[in-house]
Amino acid sequence: MPPSNETGLRFGDLGPHCLHLSVDMQRLFAEPTEWETPWMRTILPAVVRIAAAHPDATIFTRFVPAKHPGDGEGTWRRYYRRWSSMTLDRLDPEMVELLPDLAAYIPPAEVVDKHVYSPWVETDLADRLVARDIDTLVITGGETDVCVLGTVLGAVDRGYRVVIAADAVCSSSDETYDAFMALFHKRFGQQVETAWSDEILERWTLPGEER
pLDDT digits (tens, 9 = 90+) for 172-198: 888 888 888 888 888 888 899 999 999
Q: What is the mean pLDDT of residues 138-165?
A: 95
> Rounded CA gap, 8 and 112, in Å?
28
**Which CATH code fits 4-65+95-203?**
3.40.50.850
Instruction: Identify the pLDDT of residue 209.
Output: 56
Task: Give every CB contact of residue 71 below 8 A, 6+ residues apart in sequence.
Answer: 77, 80, 87
CA 3, 167, 156, 15 dihedral sign is negative
Residue 174 has phi, psi (to 5 degrees) of -60, -35
Range 177-180 contact pairs with CB under 8 angstroms and sequence separation of 24 or more: 177/39, 177/144, 177/145, 178/1, 178/2, 179/145, 180/144, 180/145, 180/148, 180/149
pTM: 0.93
The ranges assigned to domains in the chain are: 4-65+95-203
pLDDT band for position 207 (cuts 50, 70, 90): low
End-to-end Cα, the chain, rounded Å:
27
Share of the chain above pLDDT 70, in %: 95
> Would you say residue 4 has pLDDT above 50?
no
Strands laid side by side in the 110-114 sheet:
110-114, 58-63, 18-23, 136-142, 161-170, 192-195
pLDDT tens digits for 28-73?
999 999 999 999 999 999 999 999 999 999 999 999 999 998 888 8
> Rounded CA gap, 24 and 47, in Å?
11
Q: What is the mean pLDDT of residues 155-163?
A: 97
Eight-state DSSP code of residue 105? T
- DSSP-assigned letters across all residues of 135-154: -EEEEEEE-TTTHHHHHHHH
Question: Would you call 175 helix, strand, or coil by DSSP?
Answer: helix
pLDDT band for position 3 (cuts 50, 70, 90): very low
